[in-house]
Amino acid sequence: MKHLFVLFLALVSLNCFSQTEELDNLAIQLAYESSESSKVAISIEIIKNLIALKDFDKALKHIKQSEKLSKKLNSDKKLAQLLYYKALILSLKDDYITSVNLLNKSKALSIKLNDSLFTAEINSKLGAIQIEHGDYKQGIINIKKGIIQLESKNDSPTLSEAYNTLASAYKNINQFENSQKFYLKNIEINKNLGNREAILQTHIDLAELYIEHKHYKEAVFNFENALTLLDTKNEEYKGRIQPQLGTAYINFKNLDLANRHLIEGLEINRRLKNTEGTIHSLNGLAELNRIKRRFKTAKKLALEAKTLGESINDKQKLLYSYRLLKDLDSLQGNFKQAYLWQSKYFTIKNRLDREKEKKEQLARTLDAITIENDDLKVSTLSKIKVSTVANTQANTPFKLAFYVLIIVFAIALLFLISISIKRNGLLKDIRRLETKNRDIELENKSILEQKEHLESINDIKDKLFSIVSHDLKDSLISTKEFIDLLKDGSISQDEFRSLLPELSDNANNASLLLFNLLNWSKSQMQTLVSNPSLFDIQEVFYEKIKLIDLKLQSKNIQLVDKTVKDVVYADRSMVEIIIQNLLANAVKFCKSGDIITLSNHISNGYALITVADSGIGITEENQRQLFSKNSISTIGTNNEKGTGLGLSICKDLVELNNGRIWVDSTINKGSSFYIELPKDKVKTPELV
């Protein structure tokens, strides 16, 4: 009857545990095993497999039955193992207190059996559980005990786990050197074991430690090593590595590599819906665009990162986003908003600094602790007990003195508490003053940046006036002289009419000069904003050809219009300024009989506009500085004057509309100016 009952249990086990072949085989062995000691051993193997499969309830049932048999057999070794596995399961079920108690009971049995290897394993697991629940002090002590024993027994797999847990614990309490030491030990031990996955994971953990402490060279080295070990299909690891590697390359000033890794990291993390990785990528790209002075794009990215950071309350990433937003608004003159970001930044920073201070205090406490083996500790405690019993009677006459000392100690303690309270009050006052000082520093920095910005604008103004004053003065004086001649009667009405074309040219030149000056100065002051829309580029050509018709006739220049209807996506008023400047330049540098040709067509999905002339051409030296702010005005074929600002304005306006402009010219053969503009709304290059 007894055998039938065991067989029934085995068949039930076989039905429940048919997930793996090994469990099936163990269940069959258990059904036909007659030795109770062997049954417990087989049950322990089944329990291990069930824990691996996370079938905790069935594992606990086996543990309960096996505990009864172990107590019946008086087998402390098997009971210690069962208590160990039960503790692991309860830890995974978040029953921390019971789990720790069971591990301590298991360790006591293991010490009694003098099983140092199993004691080491228990110490390591006990330390890991304690650290996981915030008890770093006792957790690190227990793991160190385990490591001492495991290193002496050369148990590599368990030692690897202990090294990794200890390195992570030291990382969390800001003990950089200890954390680095145990991560490096873990890499070495896993190289001997040939555990590629563990080496990969440790390289990433070590790289993140280096990033945290600003050792960017070492971080890049470890991240690159991790990528070489990585299966290309494993996007989860890539999503974790790429944003941090991109950030490290920013600190190396390698912006191209940083951009590549950050964009790839953003794409992967968005695809995986990994919020932390997405925030890291967005912050990195925002920092990159800030460095490249693409403030609008940088702020958009930083705001998105800030919103995601607030949704998961990630203080470290929020700190990064607030700092970026403060810098961006400060650089753009939004000092009020910058001050608000600064306040949020310091609110989080002060909180993190307090947490860091607690961790550093814990780290100092741990440094003062020496680790002893359990057997040595038990021996020491025994000696203390014997010594206490032997000296009890001898110490009786000194009881009165002892009580006096306690009273003195209590008075001293009250005095120290009073001092501590006063000290804490002073510290709070100091912190408030520090916060005010930081706010004042921010205001001073903002004022300095505003001063530098105003000085820059003033320099631009001085330069502009120095460039245009002469030409503008000549045009206005010439116009005034014509009017004075007519007023004084020095010339007849017929003579005045013959001079009207020249007077008109002077007025047009002054008008165009002021028009270019206004738009260029606005662009330099960062107030010119593109408002793109879809429109027909051919309509712009028709309007601008009418404005130069008289000039074409007076210089005997032929205009060939090859333009076709085509839609572009840009700010129409800006495109009109660009076309007007290019047509005016073409007329200016053509001689009698020359030809100006206008055309447009589609190229690589963009609208390509061409203004070509058969005029005097441009030297290679002048071509190199043609679009710069320092370009020099050149006299036209009929001694037309200019400021040299027109093409600089054109370049600024084209780039504001996500386009580009370039020239191809040969002396005495002519020049061709090309403009490439988008045909529809495009993404900014940083987000592609």
- The amino acid at 44: I
Q: What are phi and psi of 254, to 5 degrees?
A: -95, 85
**E strand or H helix at 606:** strand 606-613
Please indicate, yes or no, whether residues 583 and 654 belong to a single structural domain of this protein: yes
Reported as half-sphere exposure (CB side, CA atoms, 13 A), residue 581 has a value of 30
Smallest CA-to-CA distance from 652 within 548, 587, 571, 536 is with: 571
Residue 610 is predicted with a pLDDT of 95
Number of domains in the chain: 2
Please indicate, yes or no, whether residues 564 and 464 belong to a single structural domain of this protein: no
Q: What are phi and psi of 676, to 5 degrees?
A: -110, 120
Residue 95 in any domain: the answer is no
Sequence-separated contacts (24+) of 344-353 with Cβ below 8 Å: 344/318, 345/319, 346/435, 346/438, 348/315, 348/318, 348/319, 348/322, 349/319, 350/431, 350/435, 351/315, 352/315, 352/316, 352/319
Confidence at 279, pLDDT banded by 50, 70, 90: very high
pLDDT digits 0-9 by tens, 515-539: 656 655 555 544 556 788 999 999 9
Residue 467 is predicted with a pLDDT of 47
Confidence at 304, pLDDT banded by 50, 70, 90: very high
Residue 682 has pLDDT above 60, yes or no: no
Please indicate, yes or no, whether residues 565 and 596 belong to a single structural domain of this protein: yes
Residue 593 in any domain: the answer is yes
State the chain's mean pLDDT as an integer. 78
Residue 345 in any domain: the answer is no
Smallest CA-to-CA distance from 220 within 205, 230, 210, 212 is with: 210
Task: Give yes or no for a contact between 611 and 579, defined as CB atoms under 8 angstroms apart.
Answer: yes
Residue 319 in any domain: the answer is no
- The amino acid at 413: L
Distance CA 278, CA 304 (A): 10
Residue 393 has pLDDT above 50, yes or no: no
Among residues 490, 510, 528, which one ends one of the domains?
528
Distance CA 226, CA 603 (A): 42
Residue 462 is predicted with a pLDDT of 53
For residue 627, the domain's CATH number is 3.30.565.10
Residue 152 in any domain: the answer is no
Please indicate, yes or no, whether residues 518 and 655 belong to a single structural domain of this protein: no
Give the lowest-confidence range in 26-35, 148-157, 350-359, 678-687. Answer: 678-687
Torsion sign, CA atoms 110, 68, 74, 41:
negative
Residue 660, Cβ neighbours under 10 Å: how many? 13
- The amino acid at 409: F
Distance CA 77, CA 87 (A): 16
Three-state SS letters, 306-369:
HHHHHHHCCHHHHHHHHHHHHHHHHHCCCHHHHHHHHHHHHHHHHHHHHHHHHHHHHHHHHHCC
Which residue has tokens 């990630």?
Answer: 314
Please indicate, yes or no, whether residues 494 and 594 belong to a single structural domain of this protein: no
Task: Give yes or no for a contact between 137 and 366, defined as CB atoms under 8 angstroms apart.
Answer: yes
Task: Give yes or no for a contact between 183 and 202, defined as CB atoms under 8 angstroms apart.
Answer: yes
Take residue 535 and report the two structure tokens written for it: 């429109």
- The amino acid at 218: E
pLDDT digits 0-9 by tens, 582-619: 998 898 889 889 999 999 998 888 999 999 999 988 88
Residue 642 is predicted with a pLDDT of 54
CA angle 368, 372, 378 (to 5 degrees): 130
Which residue has tokens 């600064």?
Answer: 342
Distance CA 343, CA 418 (A): 33
Give the lowest-confidence range in 19-23, 237-241, 373-377, 540-544. Answer: 373-377
Distance CA 117, CA 282 (A): 48
Residue 687 is predicted with a pLDDT of 36
Task: Give yes or no for a contact between 243 and 284, defined as CB atoms under 8 angstroms apart.
Answer: yes
Residue 349 is predicted with a pLDDT of 82
Please indicate, yes or no, whether residues 670 and 626 belong to a single structural domain of this protein: yes
Among residues 528, 546, 578, which one ends one of the domains?
528
pLDDT digits 0-9 by tens, 422-447: 677 677 767 777 777 776 776 677 67
Torsion sign, CA atoms 258, 654, 298, 688:
negative
Task: List all residues 6 or more positions away from 421 whose beta carbon is below 8 Å from its beta carbon.
Answer: none
Please indicate, yes or no, whether residues 676 and 546 belong to a single structural domain of this protein: yes
Take residue 469 and report the two structure tokens written for it: 């004053």
Confidence at 4, pLDDT banded by 50, 70, 90: very low
Residue 262 is predicted with a pLDDT of 92
Share of the chain above pLDDT 90, in %: 16
Smallest CA-to-CA distance from 133 within 163, 164, 99, 106 is with: 99
Distance CA 196, CA 198 (A): 6
Residue 306, Cβ neighbours under 10 Å: how many? 23
Take residue 158 and report the two structure tokens written for it: 């368990």
pLDDT digits 0-9 by tens, 459-491: 545 544 544 554 565 566 667 766 776 677 767
**Cα Dmax for the chain:** 142
Residue 589 in any domain: the answer is yes
Share of the chain above pLDDT 70, in %: 74
Please indicate, yes or no, whether residues 551 and 512 belong to a single structural domain of this protein: no
Distance CA 272, CA 239 (A): 8
How would DSSP label each residue in 558-595?
EEEEE----EEEE-HHHHHHHHHHHHHHHHHT--TT-E
Report which DSSP code applies to 252: T
Among residues 486, 507, 528, which one ends one of the domains?
528
The most confident of the ranges 108-112, 128-132, 569-573, 670-674 is 670-674
Please indicate, yes or no, whether residues 471 and 615 belong to a single structural domain of this protein: no
pLDDT digits 0-9 by tens, 228-258: 888 767 788 888 899 999 998 988 788 888 9
Please indicate, yes or no, whether residues 557 and 683 belong to a single structural domain of this protein: yes
Residue 59 is predicted with a pLDDT of 84
Distance CA 573, CA 645 (A): 18
Residue 560 has pLDDT above 90, yes or no: yes
Residue 389 is predicted with a pLDDT of 38
Reported as half-sphere exposure (CB side, CA atoms, 13 A), residue 668 has a value of 0
The whole domain housing 472 covers 399-528
Three-state SS letters, 164-214:
HHHHHHHHHCCCHHHHHHHHHHHHHHHHHHCCHHHHHHHHHHHHHHHHHCC
Residue 675 has pLDDT above 90, yes or no: yes
Smallest CA-to-CA distance from 173 within 356, 12, 345 is with: 356
Task: List all residues 6 or more positions away from 161 whose beta carbon is below 8 Å from its beta carbon.
Answer: 124, 128
Take residue 629 and report the two structure tokens written for it: 């702010």
Please indicate, yes or no, whether residues 492 and 446 belong to a single structural domain of this protein: yes
Residue 685 has pLDDT above 50, yes or no: no
pLDDT digits 0-9 by tens, 87-135: 888 888 888 888 889 889 888 988 888 888 888 888 888 888 888 887 8
Mean pLDDT of 398-410: 69
Task: List all residues 6 or more positions away from 483 whose beta carbon is below 8 Å from its beta carbon.
Answer: none
**pLDDT: is 161 or 526 the higher one?**
161
Distance CA 277, CA 314 (A): 12
Smallest CA-to-CA distance from 637 within 561, 565, 554, 568 is with: 554
Residue 668 in any domain: the answer is yes
Please indicate, yes or no, whether residues 593 and 672 belong to a single structural domain of this protein: yes
How would DSSP label each residue in 61-124?
HHHHHHHHHHHHHT-HHHHHHHHHHHHHHHHHTT-HHHHHHHHHHHHHHHHHTT-HHHHHHHHH
**pLDDT: is 420 or 648 the higher one?**
648
Q: What does DSSP say about strands 558-562 and 595-603: parallel, antiparallel, or unpaired? A: parallel
The most confident of the ranges 149-158, 435-444, 629-638 is 149-158
**pLDDT: is 109 or 627 the higher one?**
109
Reported as half-sphere exposure (CB side, CA atoms, 13 A), residue 104 has a value of 9
- The amino acid at 196: R
Task: List all residues 6 or more positions away from 415 whose beta carbon is below 8 Å from its beta carbon.
Answer: none
Mean pLDDT of 277-291: 91
Residue 11 in any domain: the answer is no
**pLDDT: is 663 or 633 the higher one?**
663
Task: Give yes or no for a contact between 242 and 272, defined as CB atoms under 8 angstroms apart.
Answer: no
